[in-house]
Amino acid sequence: MPPLTSILIPCHNAEPWLTETLESALCQTWQHTEIILVDDGSTDRSLTIARSYESSRLKVITQPNQGASAARNRALQEAQGEFIQYLDADDLLASDKIEHQIKLLQSCDSNCIASGAWARFYRHYFEAVFQPQPLWQDFLPVDWLICAWKGNGMMHPAAWLIPRSIADRVGLWDESLSLNDDGEYFCRVVLASQEIKFCADSRVYYRSGIQGSLSGSTSGAAWKSLWRSMQLDRIHLLAQEDSLRTRRACADRFQRLIYDIYPNLPDLQQDIEAEIQALGGTNLSPVGSSLFQSAAAVLGWKFAKRLQMLTRKFAYS
């Protein structure tokens, strides 16, 4: 019997995009799938749309609004598959995404996970442009995290395919996190694997530019969630390898967060700076336009950042 894959979809107010997402899950060339959608207290027509697709292959569960991580945990607890595929309710899978990755993992050690190619789109999936990134190759787990953190790279959550044995060892999503809950979860997944196998033929379409999306949040609570998730990531990584290179990767990542949040949340900045010093420091420079770099070279990056913010505010007004 071919292995069953569980496609797990958390859904909250995804009415404009849900039909297209469900179609992409149902149209997989790997037919041995179950789809579990957890509606997390939607107030639009998301639940009605999901119910219209309900069948022996697609199960719909409802719960009061508790957040995406809680919805994913509920779906994971219901899942029967030998492989786990996460899919947000506004993103899309290429029709052969799962098939390519399962065939790749079947040819490898059972303790490997698969990553894949992903690209952003704003209106139509066919507008997405797939541009190779440093993470698009095979990696050992610690090497993958160092590459991601030092280069500010990411792997879209739906790009992964995870053997259930690894998902069981990793445990549940951290429901206390909001921003970067996926980063913390997949940090654990990566470190629990023997190797990351990149599947170039496996494609995911990441819908971007949605107004009010969590990933675009810049509230104080969102920044604090991001910082807590990054602290957990540091604990996970250093528990597996505490070395100069892993400490530097963590310090660089923390410094980049300071560049992002300055001049807001000064207390949080102090906490981050203390962590950076405890890790041995960093010489990471801020990234910006040529004008920003010129101002930073003469006046310092803090003044350049304030000038950049003032310029943007004036442009918007």
Classified as helix, coil or strand, 7 is: strand
CA-CA distance, 11 to 21, in Å (whole number)?
11
CA-CA distance, 266 to 99, in Å (whole number)?
48
Residue 93: strand pairing partners: 204
Determine the average pLDDT of the residues in 7-16: 98
* Final residue belonging to a domain, choices 214, 230, 256: 214
Residue 293 in this model has a pLDDT that exceeds 90: no
* Same domain (yes/no): 129, 262: no
Which has more confidence, 146 or 285? Answer: 146
Reported as a single tens digit per residue, the pLDDT across 84-103 is: 999 999 999 999 999 999 99
Share of the chain above pLDDT 90, in %: 85
* Same domain (yes/no): 126, 91: yes
Residue 261 lies in a domain: yes
Reported as a single tens digit per residue, the pLDDT across 201-229 is: 999 999 998 765 555 556 889 999 999 99
* Same domain (yes/no): 85, 162: yes
* Same domain (yes/no): 111, 158: yes
Model pLDDT, residue 316? 60
255 is written with which tokens?
Answer: 């410094």
* Final residue belonging to a domain, choices 214, 244, 260: 214
* Same domain (yes/no): 163, 295: no
* Same domain (yes/no): 224, 204: no
* Confidence band for 311, pLDDT divided at 50, 70 and 90: confident
Reported as a single tens digit per residue, the pLDDT across 144-186 is: 999 999 999 999 999 999 999 999 999 999 999 999 999 999 9
CA-CA distance, 253 to 244, in Å (whole number)?
14
Contacts of residue 31, defined as CB under 8 A and 6 or more positions apart, other chains included, come to none
Residue 154 lies in a domain: yes
Torsion angle of the four alpha carbons 107, 240, 152, 177, in this order, in degrees rounded to the nearest 10: 100
* Same domain (yes/no): 54, 176: yes
The total of structural domains in the chain comes to: 2
* Same domain (yes/no): 128, 33: yes
Reported as a single tens digit per residue, the pLDDT across 111-137 is: 999 999 999 999 999 999 999 999 999
Contacts of residue 288, defined as CB under 8 A and 6 or more positions apart, other chains included, come to 296, 304, 308
- CATH number of domain containing 138: 3.90.550.10
Residue 129 lies in a domain: yes
Residue 141 lies in a domain: yes
User: Residue 304: which domain range?
Assistant: 216-284+291-312
* Same domain (yes/no): 177, 227: no
Is the pTM higher than 0.85? The answer reads yes
Residue 272 lies in a domain: yes
* Same domain (yes/no): 39, 169: yes
Residue 143 lies in a domain: yes
* Final residue belonging to a domain, choices 154, 185, 214: 214
CA-CA distance, 33 to 293, in Å (whole number)?
50
Residue 187 lies in a domain: yes
* Same domain (yes/no): 196, 226: no
Residue 150 lies in a domain: yes
* Same domain (yes/no): 118, 98: yes
